[in-house]
């Protein structure tokens, strides 16, 4: 039991506890805030395991951007202070979700525990190694993933600009009216 | 919209650099801050700091109190009978000022009271350092108002060719008791100026100024009489 | 045992810097802004040109009543200032003043500083939502929208420098720096500076705290010490961003007698950048929300991408 084991157990516990709180809390914004703790603790796990760069990217992308986006979206909706019962799920849902979660956990445990074997030696992964792996061995999956993200981005733009036919006709008319009113703008 | 937003962007770079230059230049220049408690401010001599009362001039006519827009002047007075000075003469009544107070927590320094005072009993003083910790202490009674009187600057000098000050004119010209008809001095002074406009003397002021001088002069006991009458 | 002592010393050093440098920047802002507006600024506290004004302000903040609104989400409300403040403290620890003067020399400190400062926005969001005040909520949403859009050009600009230096460590970047970078990395530097000012919500990017529109944004309901923490985090943010700019783009400790006085050079360069940040506040009016987003996405992101491409080409051709 080294100091690293203790640290890993601690961040692991925090991750599990905050994850549990994120799904059980009745406050919708609290759930997002517990998610912050959870993702931050996951970054801590990476750090303890020696993958410093991954931990930092986890922090930068998930805590700094994704959760902020989630909170932003929550605030755009009606996110009242205090528990709101109308968005909570029914008892059946909860039981089903619990069973599903337990099942996945059991499956993962059944698959991973036999191959765990003796403790693997921790070795620090330098940023250079990550880069070599990413742009050497895994360059094609990496590029395909970025292409996928690009497609998703363009698709999101297309969806946001897509209009129904009659609505489009209205908009064209409105645009024409606007153009007639302000000729300098359309020029 | 986009066109509108773009246009300032196109010519904006010199503009924002100019903004930076302006602030930098201002920083290099001396500041305008007046360090007031450490250095006395340079106020114009006719600043409206506080209102001073010359108690001897006040006839308790109440004009100031009535004209005051926010009713911050309090005047109490009583009538006193002066026995006749000559044998068989008429007894005269005069008002004695008991209380004259200005509440500077209400005063808005409009100066109307000073404008309307027919007897020059109220004056502007440039003193302004009379702040109090308690707002009730801003009610200045007549002795406090009288203490401001020495700080009132003397009237500004007349122009070079203007008529002599009305007060001086009143003392130098023959007294009322000696003159034969009351009309005589005024027309002689007024008519030539109206007839000859080339004369540089600022004439229209002369007749109007002549009225208060009458009260200023010691021989003019008769004139304060109308004021108490109008009061009642 | 000596390890413990050293760690304690470093932590105390960072804490001291964290408490002193923001006050220094704050006092500089008082005086510089005053003189730029033809005023003198604070003159009384402490005697000499009001040097202790911010100390006096701190004492005043401590004395004030700590109010939590009745309708607020109390725990989140009380916790938010810490979330806003601590990230900058952690970030300050990773910034090297010279090769020797650094609290925690991490291998990827550039990414670390960016990642940690990105967490600070959560404090503003929490404060805005938990205050139960519509101005606070609006301010928090503006802050979130602003920080999301300016995070990208900032990361891209830093990536360009990292690429040119071939290192993710701030010490490594400053060591690889050469005066030629002043021109070569100029577009990136401008993008970084603009994005940093926007990230700090300083004028001209102070939409989230626009007093004439939404009182004081997310901090409207705060008083006393918690409010002081938000203010401190703003000035600590200026310190962190200025030092980061000095290390990334101005070569940090490079200068005369850099072996002995390197840390002083870094501080001096960072201080100059802080003065520039203050200068921008005095000189320029506030941007509108649409101008803000337009600047981020139509000017800064393309500029940062072009800089990244340029650096990439340069690195490949010179390698």
Q: Residues B196-224: pLDDT tens digits?
A: 444 444 444 444 344 444 344 444 444 44
Start-end ranges of CATH 3.30.70.3270 in chain B? Answer: 50-83+91-151
C-alpha–C-alpha distance, residues A187 and B167, integer Å: 78
Whether B64 has a binding-site annotation, put simply, is yes
Query: pLDDT of C164-188, one tens digit each?
Result: 888 888 888 888 888 888 888 888 8
This prediction has a pTM of 0.73
C-alpha–C-alpha distance, residues C174 and C166, integer Å: 11
C-alpha–C-alpha distance, residues C311 and C319, integer Å: 12
Contacts across the A-B interface (CB distance below 8 Å)? 6
pLDDT band at A157 (very low <50, low <70, confident <90, very high): confident
What is the mean predicted confidence (pLDDT) over B56-65? 90
Q: Which two tokens stand for residue C243?
A: 């030092």
Q: At what angle do helices A28-48 and C74-94 cross, to 10 degrees?
A: 30
From A133-147, B46-60, B189-203, the region with the lowest mean pLDDT:
B189-203
B52 in helix, strand or coil?
strand
pLDDT band at C78 (very low <50, low <70, confident <90, very high): confident
Which of C73, C111, C148 is closest, CB to CB, to A60? Answer: C111
| pLDDT for residue B225 | 43
C-alpha–C-alpha distance, residues A182 and A180, integer Å: 6
Indicate the average pLDDT of chain B. 74
User: What DSSP string runs through C103-134?
Assistant: S---TTHHHHHHHHHHHHHHHHHHHHHHTT-H
| pLDDT for residue B106 | 92
Q: Which two tokens stand for residue C261?
A: 């006085």
B4 touches chain C (CB under 8 A): no
Nearest one of C73, C53, C81 to C233, comparing CA atoms: C81
Long-range contacts of the stretch B35-38 (C-beta < 8 A, 24+): B35/C40, B35/C43
| pLDDT for residue C106 | 77
What distance in Å separates residue C53's CA from the closest CA in chain A? 35
At residue B81, φ and ψ (nearest 5 deg) are -100, 130
- Conformational region of residue C38, where left means phi above 0, alpha means psi within -120 to 50, and beta covers everything else: left
What is the mean predicted confidence (pLDDT) over A46-53? 82
Under 8 Å CB-to-CB from C266, ≥6 apart: which residues? C96, C97, C98, C243, C246, C247, C252, C253
Answer for the pair A64, A34: CB distance below 8 angstroms, yes or no. no
B80 in helix, strand or coil?
strand
What distance in Å separates residue C281's CA from the closest CA in chain A? 26
Answer for the pair B102, B64: CB distance below 8 angstroms, yes or no. no
C-alpha–C-alpha distance, residues C159 and C301, integer Å: 13
From A61-70, A96-105, B50-59, C271-280, the region with the lowest mean pLDDT:
A61-70
CATH number of B50-83+91-151: 3.30.70.3270
At residue B212, φ and ψ (nearest 5 deg) are -65, -30
C211 in helix, strand or coil?
helix
pLDDT band at B174 (very low <50, low <70, confident <90, very high): low
At residue C136, φ and ψ (nearest 5 deg) are -60, -45
C-alpha–C-alpha distance, residues C26 and C154, integer Å: 24
**Residue keyed to tokens 């002043």:** C182
What is the mean predicted confidence (pLDDT) over A107-122? 77
Q: Which residues of C touch B22 (CB under 8 A)?
A: 283
Query: pLDDT of B129-155, one tens digit each?
Result: 888 899 999 998 988 899 999 988 888
Interface contact B4-A187, CB threshold 8 A: no
C-alpha–C-alpha distance, residues C80 and C84, integer Å: 6
At residue C80, φ and ψ (nearest 5 deg) are -60, -45
C-alpha–C-alpha distance, residues B109 and B124, integer Å: 10
B180 touches chain C (CB under 8 A): no
C-alpha–C-alpha distance, residues A36 and A42, integer Å: 10
Q: How many residues belong to chain B?
A: 232
Neighbours of chain A (3+ CB pairs under 8 A): B, C
| pLDDT for residue A187 | 39
Checking if the pLDDT of A122 tops 80, the result is: no
- Residue B13 C-alpha from the chain's centroid: 54
C-alpha–C-alpha distance, residues C83 and C281, integer Å: 25
Query: pLDDT of B98-123, one tens digit each?
Result: 999 999 999 999 999 999 999 889 99
């Amino acid at each position: 039991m080294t100091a690293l084991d203790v640290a890993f157990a601690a961040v692991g516990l925090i991750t599990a506890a905050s994850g549990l709180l994120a799904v059980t809390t009745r406050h919708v914004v609290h759930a997002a805030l517990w998610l912050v703790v959870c993702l931050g603790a996951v970054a801590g796990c990476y750090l303890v395991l020696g993958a410093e760069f991954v931990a930092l990217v986890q922090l930068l992308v998930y805590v700094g951007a994704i959760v902020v986006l989630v909170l932003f979206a929550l605030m755009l909706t009606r996110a009242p202070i205090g528990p709101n019962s109308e968005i909570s799920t029914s008892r059946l849902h909860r039981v089903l979700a619990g069973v599903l979660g337990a099942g996945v956990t059991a499956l993962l445990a059944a698959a991973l525990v036999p191959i765990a074997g003796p403790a693997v030696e921790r070795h620090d992964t330098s940023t250079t190694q990550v880069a070599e792996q990413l742009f050497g061995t895994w360059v094609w999956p990496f590029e395909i993933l970025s292409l996928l993200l690009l497609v998703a981005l363009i698709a999101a733009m297309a969806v946001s600009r897509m209009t129904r036919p009659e609505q489009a006709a209205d908009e064209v008319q409105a645009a024409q009216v606007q153009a007639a009113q302000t000729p300098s703008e359309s020029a | 919209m986009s066109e509108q937003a773009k246009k300032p962007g196109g010519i904006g770079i010199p503009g924002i650099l100019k903004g930076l230059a302006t602030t930098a230049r201002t920083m290099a220049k001396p500041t305008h801050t007046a360090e007031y408690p450490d250095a006395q401010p340079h106020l114009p001599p006719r600043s409206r700091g506080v209102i001073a009362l010359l108690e001897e001039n006040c006839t308790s006519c109440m004009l100031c109190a009535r004209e005051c827009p926010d009713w911050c002047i309090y005047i109490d007075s009583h009538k006193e009978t002066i026995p006749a000075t000559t044998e068989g003469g008429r007894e005269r009544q005069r008002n004695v000022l008991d209380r004259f107070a200005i509440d500077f927590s209400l005063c808005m320094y409009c100066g109307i009271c000073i404008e309307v005072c027919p007897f020059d009993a109220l004056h502007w003083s440039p003193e302004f350092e009379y702040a109090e910790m308690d707002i009730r202490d801003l009610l200045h009674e007549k002795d406090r108002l009288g203490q401001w009187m020495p700080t009132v600057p003397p009237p500004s000098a007349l122009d070079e060719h203007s008529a002599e000050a009305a007060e001086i004119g009143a003392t130098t010209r023959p007294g009322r008791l000696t003159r034969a008809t009351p009309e005589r001095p005024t027309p002689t002074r007024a008519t030539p100026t109206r007839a000859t406009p080339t004369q540089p003397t600022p004439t229209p002021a002369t007749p109007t100024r002549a009225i208060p001088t009458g009260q200023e002069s010691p021989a003019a006991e008769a004139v304060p009489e109308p004021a108490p009458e109008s009061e009642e | 045992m000596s390890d413990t002592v050293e760690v304690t010393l470093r932590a105390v050093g960072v804490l001291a810097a964290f408490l002193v440098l923001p006050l220094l920047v704050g006092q500089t802002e008082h005086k510089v802004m005053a003189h730029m507006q033809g005023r003198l600024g604070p003159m009384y506290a402490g005697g000499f040109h009001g040097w202790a004004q911010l100390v006096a302000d701190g004492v005043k903040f401590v004395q004030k009543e700590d109010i939590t609104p009745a309708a607020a989400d109390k725990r989140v409300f009380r916790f938010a200032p810490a979330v806003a403040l601590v990230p900058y403290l952690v970030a300050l620890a990773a910034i090297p003043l010279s090769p020797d003067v650094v609290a925690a020399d991490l291998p990827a400190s550039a990414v670390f500083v960016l990642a940690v400062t990105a967490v600070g926005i959560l404090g503003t969001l929490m404060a805005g939502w938990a205050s139960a005040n519509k101005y606070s909520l609006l301010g928090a949403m503006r802050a979130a929208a602003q920080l999301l859009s300016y995070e990208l050009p900032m990361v891209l600009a830093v990536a360009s420098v990292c690429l040119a230096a071939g290192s993710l460590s701030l010490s490594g970047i400053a060591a690889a720096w050469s005066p030629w970078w002043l021109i070569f990395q100029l577009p990136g530097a401008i993008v970084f500076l603009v994005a940093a000012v926007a990230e700090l919500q300083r004028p001209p990017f102070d939409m989230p705290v626009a007093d004439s529109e939404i009182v004081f944004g997310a901090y409207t309901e705060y008083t006393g010490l918690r409010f002081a923490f938000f203010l401190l985090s703003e000035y600590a943010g200026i310190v962190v961003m200025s030092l980061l700019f000095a290390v990334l783009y101005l070569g940090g400790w490079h200068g005369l007698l850099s072996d002995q006085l390197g840390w002083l050079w870094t501080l001096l360069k960072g201080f100059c950048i802080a003065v520039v940040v203050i200068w921008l506040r005095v000189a320029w009016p506030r941007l509108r929300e649409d101008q803000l987003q337009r600047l981020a996405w139509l000017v800064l992101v393309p500029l940062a991408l072009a800089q990244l491409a340029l650096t990439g080409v340069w690195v490949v051709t010179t390698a």
